[in-house]
Amino acid sequence: MKTVRIGIIGFGNQGSAYVRMLKEGRIRGGELAAVCDINEEKLNAQCEKFEVDCPRFTRHTDLLASGTVDAVIVTTPHYFHPPIVIDALNAGLHALSDKPAGVYTKQVKEMMDVAKQHPAQIFAIMFNQRMNRAYQRMRQMIADGALGTIKRVNWIITDWYRSQSYYDSGAWRASWKGEGGGVLFNQAPHQLDLLPWIVGMMPCKMQAHCHFGKWHDIETEDDVTAYMEFPNGATGVFITSTGDAPGTNRLEILGTKGKLVCENGQLLTFYENAVDEREFNKTYKGGFGAPEVTKKVLMRRHNIQMHQEILQNYVNAIRGKEPLKVSGFDGINGVEMMDAMLLSQWLGKMVEMPIDDDLYFAELNKRIETGRALKAETGTVLDTKGTY
Ligand SMILES: NC(=O)c1ccc[n+]([C@@H]2O[C@H](COP(=O)([O-])OP(=O)(O)OC[C@H]3O[C@@H](n4cnc5c(N)ncnc54)[C@H](O)[C@@H]3O)[C@@H](O)[C@H]2O)c1
């Protein structure tokens, strides 16, 4: 197939990163063919800054109808991901949504329903952290049974500190009307996707304590501690915040045969039991004592251009050169997780998963109706390098 002509919809912080990758020729077989941003002044300034000379549009529908692109990357604020992806698919184009897939499960399911009607078009999502080799190795080991039966999953992911100036840089940020959530919807979607992907199962119950505007002058959550239960009886704790400095990124998965620990998404250690703990429990007669453990460092550092790898795969999949690595259909899991956390806080109880889509949407709408009015957009563009 010929070169894939790509349109970027949403030319802000992250859109700039994709524009750079395409302009620098880092995506083989893909070219930047059009850009779109609803804010015309910003669009023009961005085109000048990045020396973009392809067609530009202020309405995504005009870009989709222009015949200038084969595929789009949607990197607007989250609420717009599903409706724009739906329009792109219905226009016969391939579509990649940035994370999260959307804000509420109902809209993500609508997008999935439309994608199912277009099986010949590629429907993808930017879960760049799925390309992290340590997380891939953990997933593979668990699938191969190296950990035995999963008992506990703990993730403290608080190493994306954000100051007030970050929140003030965009009117949509951390507001019910503009973003629909806070740290769960902007920073944590990567880990909320990875967690069930790595352990191979979704939780079935969730109880979360979400603190709204605890560390910043914002409406939405910036500090969350969630407890979850899985169908096999395993439990988990997920902690995230944009207020911790220094922060932590530590993922621990405990199974009957041992424990995997990944620190900072890099250092991966396996603590392997000589005997399965359940077997030891039944057979050991010595009172005090525990299975013998061997510590193995499996990986130390592994740098990878994760976004670039996802975009390269998107283009390759469109050209029929390799299968899609991360399907857009996978986007529902993370949204289910984040929505369950907020719903649990709003209802003040543990919620069953999957959640009630209509109830969530109604509860979200209450916050939108009574929430702050959106401020005027500032047009600020921040450099995202090193932030993911
Ligand atoms: N995958 C990653 O690592 C990663 C990193 C950062 C951001 N993101 C995602 O990218 C998205 C954008 O984040 P950002 O930090 O770039 O925000 P941003 O505010 O810098 O950029 C968003 C842009 O979209 C434009 N826009 C808004 N509504 C639009 C519409 N209907 N049509 C066209 N343009 C529209 C805005 O004017 C703005 O320029 C978010 O969903 C975020 O979660 C992903």
Would you say residue 279 has pLDDT above 80?
yes
Closest CA to 242 of 312, 179, 320: 179
The whole-angstrom separation of Cα 293 and Cα 254 is 13
Which run of H or E residues covers position 235?
strand 235-241
Taking the centre of ligand 1 as the mean of its atom positions, its distance from the CA of residue 12, in whole angstroms, is 6
Residue 384 lies inside a defined structural domain of this protein: no
Q: Rounded to an integer, what distance in angstroms lies between the CA atom of residue 83 and that of residue 96? A: 12
Residues above pLDDT 90, as percent of the chain: 94
Q: What is the mean pLDDT of the chain?
A: 96
Whether 134 has a pLDDT exceeding 80, the answer reads yes
First to last CA, the chain: 32
- Cβ(201) to ligand 1 under 6 A? no
9, 13, 50, 56, best to mutate for ligand 1 pocket (most atoms within 8 Å of CB):
13
Average pLDDT over residues 133-138: 97
Helix (H) or strand (E) run with residue 206 in it: strand 205-212
Strands 351-352 and 205-212: antiparallel
Are 209 and 270 contained in the same domain?
yes
Question: Ligand 1 pocket, 142 CB below 6 A?
Answer: no
Would the pLDDT of 388 be above 60?
no
The C-alpha torsion from 26 through 27 and 29 to 34, rounded to 10°, is -100
pLDDT the model gives residue 375: 78
In DSSP notation, 270-284 reads: EEEESS-HHHHHHH-
Give the pLDDT confidence score for residue 376 in this predicted structure: 72
Asked whether residue 148 falls in the same domain as residue 91, the answer is no
Cβ of 77 below 6 Å from ligand 1: yes
With a 6 Å cutoff on the Cβ, whether 308 touches ligand 1 is no
Please report, for residues 101, 103, 180, 219, the alpha-carbon distance to residue 345 in angstroms, rounded to integers and kept in the order given. Answer: 22, 16, 15, 14
- Mean pLDDT, residues 262-289: 97
Whether residue 32 lies inside any domain: the answer is yes
Are residue 157 and residue 121 in the same domain, yes or no?
Answer: no
Under 8 Å CB-to-CB from 79, ≥6 apart: which residues?
102, 103, 107, 178, 179, 180
Q: What is the pLDDT of residues 335-383, one digit of tens each?
A: 999 999 999 999 999 999 999 999 999 999 999 999 988 877 766 666 6
Q: What is this structure's pTM?
A: 0.96
User: Which residues is 98 bridged to in the sheet?
Assistant: 126
Do residues 259 and 158 share a domain? yes
| pLDDT score, position 384 | 62
Residue 182 pLDDT? 98
Atom of ligand 1 nearest to the CA of 377: 37
Measure 76 CA to ligand 1 centroid, in angstroms.
3
- Same domain membership, residue 258 and residue 239: yes
Query: Is the same domain home to 155 and 238?
Result: yes
The pLDDT-based confidence of 274 (bands split at 50, 70, 90) is very high
Query: Would you state the pLDDT for residue 385?
Result: 63
Asked whether 229 and 203 are in contact (CB, 8 A), the reply is yes
Residue 379 located in a structural domain: no
| Per-residue model confidence (pLDDT) at position 301 | 85
Same domain, 177 and 162: yes
CA dihedral 97, 99, 103, 105 (to 10 degrees): 80
Contact 206/153 with Cβ under 8 angstroms? Answer: no
One domain for residues 259 and 149: yes
Chain segment 10-39, per-residue pLDDT in tens: 999 999 999 999 999 999 999 999 999 999
Mean pLDDT, residues 167-185: 96
User: How does pLDDT run across 289-335, given as a tens digit for each residue?
Assistant: 999 999 999 999 877 799 999 999 999 999 999 999 999 999 999 99
User: For ligand 1, is residue 18 a contact (CB within 6 Å)?
Assistant: no
**Token duo for residue 75:** 């990197």
Closest atom, ligand 1, to C-alpha of 169: 19
User: Which residue range forms the structural domain that includes residue 142?
Assistant: 130-301+334-370
Contact status, residue 100 vs residue 80, Cβ threshold 8 Å = no
Does 294 lie in the same domain as 315? no
Q: Whose CA is nearest to atom 19 of ligand 1?
A: 12
Mean pLDDT value across residues 110-133 = 98
Same domain, 233 and 99: no
Task: Specify whether 65 is located in the same domain as 178.
Answer: no
Residue 92's CATH number: 3.40.50.720
Residue count of the chain, please give it.
Answer: 388
Could you give the CA distance from residue 110 to residue 94 in angstroms, rounded to a whole number?
Answer: 17
Residue 227 lies in a domain: yes
User: In angstroms, rounded to a whole number, what is the distance separating the alpha carbons of residues 79 and 114?
Assistant: 17
Structurally, the chain folds into a number of domains equal to 2
Each residue of 69-121: pLDDT tens digit?
999 999 999 999 999 999 999 999 999 999 999 999 999 999 999 999 999 99
Find tokens 């169908």 and name the residue: 231
On whether both 52 and 157 belong to a single domain, the answer is no
